[in-house]
Amino acid sequence: MRKIELANTSEKIPILAQGTWGISGAFWKDKKYYDQWKKSLEKGIELGMTHIDTAEFYGHGKSEEVVGEIISNHQRDELFITSKLFPLHIREKTMKKAAEKSLKRLGIDHFDLYLIHWPNPFVSIKKQMKVLEDLVRNGRTRYIGVSNFSVDQFQKAQNYLNNEKLVNNQLKANITDQKHLSKSLPYYQSEKITMSAYSPLGHSGYTDLSGETKEKISKVAKNHGATIQQIAIAWLINHKNVFTIPKAFHTNHTIENAKAADIKLSEHEIKLFYDNDKEKVEILNSFTTN
């Protein structure tokens, strides 16, 4: 599995993480359902996707519990674990308590990366950053970052930190949702901050693609002997400073996702999917890998 440096940390992480957003906490889900998720995650680890991304919000904590069972089967330092703080916690005390609950569900004593899940206009960014910095100082997380923050919000958050640096912003980005690639990625690349792209296949796995986009991606997929889903994933990770977080319930999808890490797209192939010529010039010519 190809790896990428996490910002300026010298930490190398897989270019593909494993997402767990789909793990449900519904009471009617049975053991077979959760066993299937575990099989998929274990297969991903076997294939080098040792970074697992979760959050207290996913399945109301059930996702972290499932990931915790996976962690217990491995040496802790074999895995890179990211979780996220849901931003409805208002007080410092409740934020730290939420982090401790996440750690307990995961069965570990520290996160590798801990993020603020969403910006909340009613919760002080300054207070959130103090909590993150305290968690680093107390050995409860190695690195810190945010998710779904605009560049302005990211900069404001960074300015509130005294001793630490934000190393990551997790943003929604894919072939059909390019907003953050044009508005945010150039800044993160210039600052050598890592952007993680979630929902690389949208919410439908691109089974509903149509029109020109489907024609273009199908052609590129044929050229590489790949699926359109693999091309969509490869398109993201052929950008500098970007890794992505596909999720997979079935192991055959996990295997397909992992193979996407080896697909190298040409600059021409990457440009095919940008919305307009201006973005092609401003983003592709300056920021894509070859």
Question: CA-to-CA distance for 50 and 32, rounded, in angstroms?
Answer: 23
**3-state secondary structure at position 272:** coil
Domains of the chain: 3-205+239-264 (3.20.20.100)
Q: Which helix (H) or strand (E) holds 166?
A: strand 166-172
pTM of the predicted model over 0.85: yes
The confidence score (pLDDT) of residue 282 equals: 52
Adjacency order of strands within the sheet including 166-172:
18-19, 51-53, 80-85, 111-116, 141-147, 166-172, 194-198, 242-245
- pLDDT per residue rounded down to tens, the chain (290 residues): 999 999 999 999 999 999 999 999 999 999 999 999 999 999 999 999 999 999 999 999 999 999 999 999 999 999 999 999 998 998 999 999 999 999 999 999 999 999 999 999 999 999 999 999 999 999 999 999 999 999 999 999 999 999 999 999 999 999 999 999 999 999 999 999 999 999 999 878 888 888 899 999 999 999 999 999 999 999 999 999 999 999 999 999 999 999 999 999 999 999 999 876 554 445 554 445 43
**In this predicted structure, what is the pLDDT of residue 242?**
97
Cα–Cα distance for residue pair 66/40, rounded to 1 Å: 12
3-state helix, strand, coil in the chain (%, to 5): 45, 20, 35
pLDDT at 285 (0 to 100): 44
- The per-residue pLDDT for 147 is 98
Question: What positions carry a catalytic annotation?
Answer: 58
